């Protein structure tokens, strides 16, 4: 019997994307997984299968890299039939005018301290884009039914939490309350926001919390649907390596 049989929720950040590989601010820009990211997603599925996880429903963002990760992981679990619910509220943080910029070049232009604030602070968003910009999501047909007033021009992590929570309360939580086992495939910041809520992480401490690509994190929940226990799955050394890779994205060689 699986040691994780009482864990109702798993979150997984997408595997390395082509833009992660190029060290670019991605945000709501759409890109596919890199070859390495494909292998990370498959490995996540193998880990979940080996640890005895089964899911009744999956939730995912509208961005390709998260959808690829979810499909590849479920494929390794022989469970691609799993019902999937997709929503823009699980998308990555919108990086505003930083989207498409190289992270090292941004550090050289604005300074490491300022870029760290934009990347990791709780309530300071990067400079916004104009509504005429191609980076304003209203110009993308996948958001055609969303009120443009709800779509971001730039976001802090606080803003991301504010848009993720209605989806948690109205879509994910009802599944959990119905006794369903849930996996969420999404992004570094949409999942950091959810993690902050579930684990009660402070505004200051969340700055130093990083989610590695492609490594599942499992939750056993309390009666009020907060984290009673949470743990990353798989090889601890690989977990540390991937977390350090995220931290190094704005460090000069």
Residue 16, annotated ligand binder? Answer: yes
Classify burial at 140, counting beta carbons within 10 Å of its beta carbon; exposed 0-12, middle 13-18, buried 19 or more: middle
Instruction: Tell whether 93 is in a known binding site.
Output: yes
Distance of CA 51 to the CA centre of its chain: 22
Q: Is 219 annotated as a binding residue?
A: no
Catalytic-labelled residue, pool 59, 87, 92, 187: 92
Q: Is 139 a catalytic residue?
A: no
17 is in an annotated binding site: yes
Give the residue from 253, 242, 248, 251 showing the smallest Cα distance to 16: 242
Q: Looking at 14, 59, 87, 187, which residue is catalytic? A: 14
Asked if residue 92 belongs to a known ligand binding site, the reply is: yes
Q: Is 189 annotated as a binding residue?
A: yes
Q: Is 13 annotated as belonging to a binding site?
A: yes
Gap between the Cα atoms of 31 and 15, Å rounded: 12
What are the CA-CA distances from residue 23 to residues 67, 242, 250 (Å)? Answer: 21, 14, 8
Q: Are 89 and 137 in contact (CB under 8 A)?
A: no
27 is in an annotated binding site: yes
Q: Is 20 annotated as a binding residue?
A: yes
Distance of alpha carbon 28 from alpha carbon 20, whole angstroms:
13
Q: Is 92 a known active-site residue?
A: yes
Q: Which residues are annotated as a binding site for substrate?
A: 13-20, 26-27, 65, 92-95, 103, 119-120, 188-189
Active-site residues, by number, are: 14, 92
Residues tagged in the binding site annotation:
13-20, 26-27, 65, 92-95, 103, 119-120, 188-189
């Amino acid at each position: 019997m699986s040691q994780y049989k009482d864990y109702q929720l798993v979150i997984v950040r997408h595997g390395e994307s082509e833009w992660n590989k190029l060290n670019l601010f991605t945000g709501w820009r759409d890109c596919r997984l890199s070859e390495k990211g494909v292998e990370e997603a498959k490995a996540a599925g193998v880990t979940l299968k080996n640890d005895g996880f089964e899911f009744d429903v999956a939730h995912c963002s509208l961005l390709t890299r998260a959808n690829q990760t979810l499909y590849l992981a479920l494929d390794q679990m022989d469970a691609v039939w799993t019902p999937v619910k997709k929503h823009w509220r699980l998308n990555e943080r919108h990086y505003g005018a930083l989207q498409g910029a190289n992270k090292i070049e941004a550090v050289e232009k604005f300074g490491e301290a300022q870029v760290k604030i934009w990347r990791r602070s709780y309530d300071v968003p990067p400079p916004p884009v104009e509504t005429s910009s191609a980076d304003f999501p209203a110009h993308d047909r996948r958001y055609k039914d969303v009120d443009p007033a709800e779509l971001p021009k730039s976001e802090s992590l606080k803003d991301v939490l504010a848009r993720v929570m209605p989806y948690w309360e109205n879509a994910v939580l009802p599944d959990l309350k119905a006794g369903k086992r849930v996996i969420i495939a999404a992004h570094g910041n949409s999942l950091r926001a959810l993690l902050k809520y579930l684990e009660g992480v402070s505004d200051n401490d969340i700055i130093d919390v990083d989610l590695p690509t492609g490594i599942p994190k499992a939750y056993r929940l309390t009666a009020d649907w907060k984290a009673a226990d949470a743990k990353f799955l798989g090889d601890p050394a690989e977990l540390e390596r991937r977390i350090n890779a995220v931290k190094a994205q704005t460090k000069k060689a």
